[in-house]
Amino acid sequence: MDKLKTSKSPLSPGPAIPLAAWLAMAQSVWKVLRRMLARPGPLTLEGFIFILLAFGIGLAATNTGTNLLYLIFSLMLAFLVVSGFVSVRTLKKIKVERSLPRHIVAGETVDIRVTVRNNKRLACSYGLQVSDTLRDGTVAGCCYFLRVPPRGEASAVYPCVFHRRGLYPFYRLVVTTTYPFGLVRRSVSIAANQDVLVYPQILPWERLGLESPPDLGERESRRKGAGTSLYGLREQHPSEGARWIHWKKTAQTDRLMRREFEAEEKKNVCLVLDNGLHDPGDPAQIEAFEHAVILTASVAHHLLRSDHQVELVTRSGRIAYNTGPHQRYRILRALALIQPVVLTDEKPLRLVGGADAATIVFRCEGQGDRVRYPRGAQVFVVGPPPPNAASGESIRAEPVHRRQPEAAGV
């Protein structure tokens, strides 16, 4: 009977834990949390809070010996295990692809499409976030997919703006999910190496800041066409209208005579970008050179859209005269990749102009005049923008001269 009286009830509190044991346990928990915060793992913020609550309930269950607390603690641990297992299962057999636009211009918003394919036979994939990263670690954009059906696919687009010209190397796609409870963050990295070429910024013609527009007038081609100069007279056909009847000649010959006009051809334009710099490492010269590239690309874009024959000449190469969209993309591609070179006296920039061509030269401040331009060439000197200039202001390009000798001195 004495043993039965002194026996402990299963619901009675257990022995008190010494203070030293509490301090040791708190110290170990703090070390674990500090290590996890210093190097974030798959747990989310909610997961950290959930683990703290689980630790608290586990300590309370150990101290009091209450079965209900043990049950809650085991359920919380089960939630963590299930969350980790389901998140891993969600990312299995996932294929992600990126689709880039063919032509991208700096400063313009483009839509990049991301497609996710789920190759699992039965299970869906939920709550997928796809981050598109460049080689330097910059995140270009993110897409979110709520549900991807089994053996199906889903697509989404994200807007992206490239502020500078050049070649941008896309590196990988990172797929992340916190499904189902938001406690564990699992991610998988998919290699997707792809380079995209960004053309220089294209400004409207009224924002180019050209102090005097170049001489781009049309010229007569000495053949029949839709022009304004009189080419000749011929007899009017019955099916033709009476708009171009020459009434004076009709009265003289007593026959209906019709005017014919000369076709007009647009003048060829030679764009010259002097990419030679005395100090290619100087930020001011580099900024002025970038503005010269933007100005050259904008003028070429507008002239080619107006059906002009355009040529591009730089110290790095030459693109011959041509017209149409293919020529426009060839010039924009060359200007997107052009780099400054060291300016030396051993490599002067020599051009040969013609009477039927207009030459427009863009060069930076501080390049000097030791170059040979054809007579009648129009030279614009482009300088860096003022420090407090707004992004919407036009580039100022001041003309130096319209006509200069064949060889200019220093």
Q: Domains in the chain, start-ordered, CATH in brackets? A: 37-199 (2.60.40.10), 221-264 (no CATH), 268-399 (3.40.50)
Residue 320 dihedral angles phi and psi, to the nearest 5°: -70, 170
- Give me the amino acid identity at 23: L
Question: 290 and 267 in contact (C-beta within 8 Å)?
Answer: no
What are the pLDDT digits (tens) for 147-170?
999 999 999 999 999 999 999 999
What are the pLDDT digits (tens) for 269-310?
888 888 888 888 888 888 888 988 999 999 999 888 888 889
Dist. CA 289–CA 341, nearest whole Å:
11
Sign of CA dihedral 335, 341, 343, 348: negative
Dist. CA 166–CA 198, nearest whole Å:
5
The pLDDT confidence band at residue 129, using thresholds 50, 70 and 90, is very high
**Cβ neighbourhood burial of 282 (10 Å; 0-12, 13-18, 19+):** middle
> Has residue 225 got a pLDDT over 60?
no
Question: 322 and 307 in contact (C-beta within 8 Å)?
Answer: no
Q: State the pLDDT at residue 137.
A: 87
Tokens 């549900």 map to which residue? 147
What are the pLDDT digits (tens) for 8-20?
444 445 555 566 7
Give mean pLDDT, residues 210-238.
59
Question: How would DSSP label each residue in 220-248?
Answer: EEEEESS-SSEEEEEEPPTTS-STTB-HH
> Has residue 406 got a pLDDT over 70?
no
What are the pLDDT digits (tens) for 338-380?
998 887 765 656 666 555 678 888 877 766 655 666 676 777 7
